[in-house]
Structure 1
Amino acid sequence: MSGFDNFRGSSNFDGSQNAQVVVVQEQEVVCHTEQIEIIQQKLVILQEMAKRIITEQICEVETQTIVLAQFSSSMGSFQNDIGRKSSKQVGYDSNVAGMISNLTNSDGSLSTSDLGINGTSVGNNTIVPGGSNWNNTDGPSAVQAASNAAQSAANSTSSLS
C-alpha cells in the first residue's frame, strides 16, 4: 500500500476524512430534475472513462485493483453523505469537477499531465446545490428503502453473470 497514503493522507483511503469548505456563491446552485436516462448516460461516460484511465495508464493488475477499490470506496463515502450518515453536506468540489476537460488531450488521447491536485484538496471548494427533497422525518427511511431496492437489483443482476 506504499504510496497510496500520499494522495489522500494516512487513514483516509476513501477521502471521507477530508475537510469540507462550503463556498457561498452569489447565485445559488439549485438542483433540477432531469430524465433519469440523461443522468445515466452521463454517469456511464464517467464510469467508462475511469475504466479507460485505469486500464491504459496502469499496467500492474494489483495497482489497478487498489485504485479501483479506492475510487469505489470514495463513491461509497458520497453515498453516506447523501443518506446524511456522515457529517458532510451533500455537494461537490467545483474546482476539481471543473478539471474534467483536462483528462484528455485535443487528439482524444489520455492526458499524462500533473493536474496539481491531491486527494486532500478535494472538498476545499464545495458547492452544495439547494432544492433536494430531504427532510429529517422521512429522509432516512426513504433513502434506506431506495438503497435496499438498488442493492436488491444489483444482487439479482450480479447473480446472473
Structure 2
Amino acid sequence: MFAPFVLVLALASVVLSSPLWQRREIRRNADVSLSNWGGFQSLNGFDDFNGVGNFDGSNNVQTVVVQEEQTVCEVQSIEVIQQKLVVLREMVKKVITEQICEVEVQTIVLEQFSSGIGSFSSDLLRQSGRQVGFDSNVASKISQLVNEDGSLSSSDLGFSGSDVGNNTVVAAGSNWNNTTSPSSVQSALTAAQAAAGFVSLPSQTA
C-alpha cells in the first residue's frame, strides 16, 4: 500500500498530454457546466463534484491539520519512486478505460485530472499561494480502489471534490529556500521539459 504522501508526489508527476508550464499559463476555472455535456448521461451530475467554476478543485479551501507526530519527507531511491509513479499512471489509465466507455467522457475526465495536477505543480513552485500538501483523508482511501481479486471497485468512496483540502497535511523536510529556490526550481523544470521534448536547452560550449 502506498503512503499518502507518496501518493500525492506520484500524482504530481504523472506524465500527461501537455506540459505543466503551459497549463499554468492557460488554465482557467471558468463558469462552464459539463453536466450532461453532449447529451452523455454518464456526465449527469459532473459539476456536483467540485462545483461549477472549480473544474479541477484548485479553488478549494485548505485547512491544515495539526498532527501529534508531524509527517516528514524522507528521501527514497529515485528508481523506487519512478516505479510507484508508473503504477499510479497505469492505474489512471485502467480507471478511465475500464469504467468509462465513451471516449468523449474519457477526454473530459482526463482533462479534469490533468488540470488538477497542473495546479499542484503551481503549488510546488510556490506560485499559487496554496500550501504544498495533500488531503490525508482522501489519500488514505487508496486501498479502497481495488477489490481483493484485483478488479476495480465500484463503491462510492464517501466524499466530494469540494471536501479535498479539508484535512491538508504539509510534510516537513523540504529544502525550499525563499531566496534561491525560485531560480533553482525553474532550472529543474526547464531541464525536465527539455528531456520531455517541450523546450530546448541552450547549447553549451567547452
Smaller-chain TM-score range? Answer: over 0.9
Deviations 1:75-103 (A, max 9, x none): 11000000000111111111111000100
Deviations 1:29-78 (A, max 9, x none): 11011111111111111111110000000000000001111111101100
> Which of 124, 135, 142 in structure 2 is aligned with 1:82?
124
Distance 1:147 1:93 in 2: 25
> Which of 136, 144, 149 in structure 2 is aligned with 1:94?
136
Distance 1:105 1:115 in 2: 13
Q: Which residue of structure 2 lines up, in the alignment, with residue 159 of structure 1?
A: none
Q: Which residue of structure 1 lines up, in the alignment, with residue 94 of structure 2?
A: 52
Query: 1:99 aligns to what SS in structure 2?
Result: helix
Distance 1:83 1:119 in 2: 23
Between 1 and 2, higher relative CO (CA 8 Å, sep ≥ 6) is seen in 1
Q: How does 1:26-45 map to 2 (within 5 A)?
A: 26-45=68-87
Q: Which residue of structure 1 lines up, in the alignment, with residue 14 of structure 2?
A: none
- Whether 1:123 and 2:181 are equivalent positions in the alignment is no
Structure 1 unpaired stretches of 5+: 157-161
Shift of 1:153: 1.1
Query: 146-155 or 16-25: which moved more?
Result: 146-155
Distance 2:76 2:152 in 1: 29
- TM-score, scaled to structure 1: 0.94
Shift of 1:4: 2.9
RMSD (CA atoms): 1.0
* 1:118 counterpart letter in structure 2: S
> Which of 10, 15, 19 in structure 1 is aligned with 2:52?
10
Deviations 1:110-130 (A, max 9, x none): 100011111111111011000
Distance 2:50 2:79 in 1: 33
Structure 2 unpaired stretches of 5+: 1-33, 36-44, 199-206
Give runs of ≥4 in structure 1 deviating > 3 Å: none
Q: Which residue of structure 1 lines up, in the alignment, with residue 179 of structure 2?
A: 137
- TM-score, scaled to structure 2: 0.74
Distance 1:87 1:120 in 2: 18
